[in-house]
């Protein structure tokens, strides 16, 4: 029987990457509000410190580390520290990622390596050391993007890596199911954050976020919209959900190019 306790994260430990701002910050705070102690990491020291401070203000413990998620040794060392502090990791949210705007043919080998490591290798950098610390009932949530499901001119390598994480998620869901660990993805879109402001300007030119919102049935969202879905996937409410993707995009994927007119109709 489902009751309100199913959403409680009391006694659980969550690790969130890329937690200094945007979706990562909102997710770390939401998990704390629902009872989890939270470990956070990011390259941005000031934002990360603010997130950790806010977690503690909610009455939960916080562990923080300034690191680059592309650095396997640093990532593993942080997970070891979290394990030493708490003894277990119940929830892993692979949120860190990013990119730059450039046609595929203009991306250098060095730039491609950076995109692969930041958006794909970073996920495996945390999955490998966290899984041995996860008890049955553990949950891994990988944050991808709508770009994993459509063409992405100017963001081709980034999108390909998000698609790779989608595939990896399904495989991990099967491989880790005997241990009772669930693995899912969240695919956001139309959620403005500080980290993607410059990317939006590069892709859309002078167009405002509101103009993109016209393509989104529910309009623009906010980081808490994604954080709420992560809380669901971290909790016992989703105990039979694994190997799937929840699109937190206000209906962008469903719209598939349809644009809302001022009169409320839709134009393909």
What is the pLDDT of the chain when averaged over all its residues?
A: 94
Catalytic residue among 34, 78, 158, 232: 158
User: Could you write out the DSSP letters of every residue in 143-188?
Assistant: E--GGGGS--TT-HHHHHHHHHHHHHHHHHHHHTGGGT-EEEEEEE
CB atoms within 10 A of CB 17: 26
User: pLDDT category, 230, cuts 50, 70, 90?
Assistant: very high
Could you tell me which residues are beta bridge partners of residue 267? Answer: 259
pLDDT of residue 38: 98
Whether this prediction's pTM lies above 0.85 is answered by yes
Report CA dihedral (189, 192, 197, 200) to the nearest 10 degrees: 40
pLDDT per position as a tens digit, 85-139: 999 999 999 999 999 999 999 999 999 999 999 999 999 999 999 999 999 999 9
12 contact partners, CB below 8 Å, separation of at least 6: 35, 36, 37, 90, 91, 234
Tracing tokens 């610390």 back to the chain, one arrives at: 133
By the 8 A CB rule, do 225 and 30 touch? no
pLDDT of residue 224: 98
255 versus 156: which is more confidently predicted?
156
pLDDT of residue 147: 95
pLDDT of residue 200: 53
By the 8 A CB rule, do 146 and 212 touch? no
The answer to whether residue 155 scores a pLDDT higher than 80 is yes
63 versus 213: which is more confidently predicted?
63
pLDDT of residue 68: 98
User: pLDDT category, 205, cuts 50, 70, 90?
Assistant: low
The answer to whether residue 210 scores a pLDDT higher than 80 is no
pLDDT of residue 208: 61
> What Å distances lie between residue 252 and 69, 73, 216, 220, CA to CA?
29, 37, 5, 10
Average pLDDT over residues 190-213: 66
User: Could you write out the DSSP letters of every residue in 150-162?
Assistant: S--TT-HHHHHHH
The answer to whether residue 199 scores a pLDDT higher than 80 is no
Please state the separation of Cα 142 from the chain's center in Å: 5
The answer to whether residue 222 scores a pLDDT higher than 60 is yes
The answer to whether residue 256 scores a pLDDT higher than 90 is no
Q: How many CA atoms are closer than 13 Å to the CA of 21, on its beta-carbon side? A: 14
The answer to whether residue 170 scores a pLDDT higher than 70 is yes
Q: How many CA atoms are closer than 13 Å to the CA of 83, on its beta-carbon side? A: 14
- Catalytic residue check, 158: yes
Domains in the chain: ranges and CATH? 4-197+221-252 (3.40.50.720)
- In the numeric block, which tokens belong to residue 254? 């469903």
Please name which of 46, 63, 66, 44 lies closest in space to residue 55, comparing C-alpha atoms: 63
Average pLDDT over residues 210-222: 84
């Amino acid at each position: 029987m489902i009751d309100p306790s199913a959403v409680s994260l009391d006694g659980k430990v969550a690790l969130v990457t890329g937690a200094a701002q945007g979706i990562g910050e909102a997710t770390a705070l939401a998990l704390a509000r629902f009872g989890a102690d939270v470990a956070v990491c990011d390259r941005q020291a000031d934002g990360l410190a603010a997130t950790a401070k806010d977690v503690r203000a909610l009455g939960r413990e916080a562990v923080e580390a300034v690191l680059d998620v592309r650095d396997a040794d640093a990532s593993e060392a942080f997970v070891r520290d979290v394990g030493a502090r708490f003894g277990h990791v119940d929830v892993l949210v692979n949120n860190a990622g990013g990119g730059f705007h450039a046609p595929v043919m203009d991306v250098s080998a060095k730039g491609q390596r950076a995109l692969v490591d930041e958006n794909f290798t970073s996920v495996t950098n945390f999955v490998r050391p966290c899984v041995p610390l996860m008890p049955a009932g553990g949950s891994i949530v990988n944050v991808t993007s709508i770009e994993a499901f459509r063409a992405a001119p100017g963001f081709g390598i980034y999108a390909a890596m998000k698609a790779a994480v989608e595939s990896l998620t399904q495989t991990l869901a099967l491989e880790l199911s005997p241990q009772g660990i669930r693995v899912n993805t969240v695919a956001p879109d139309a959620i403005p954050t500080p980290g993607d402001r410059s990317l939006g300007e590069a892709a859309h030119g002078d167009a405002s976020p509101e103009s993109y919102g016209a393509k989104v049935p529910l309009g623009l969202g906010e980081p808490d919209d994604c954080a709420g879905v992560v809380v669901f996937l971290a909790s016992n409410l989703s105990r039979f959900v694994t190997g799937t993707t929840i699109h937190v995009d206000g209906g962008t994927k469903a719209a598939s190019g349809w644009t809302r007119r001022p009169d409320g109709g839709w134009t393909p």
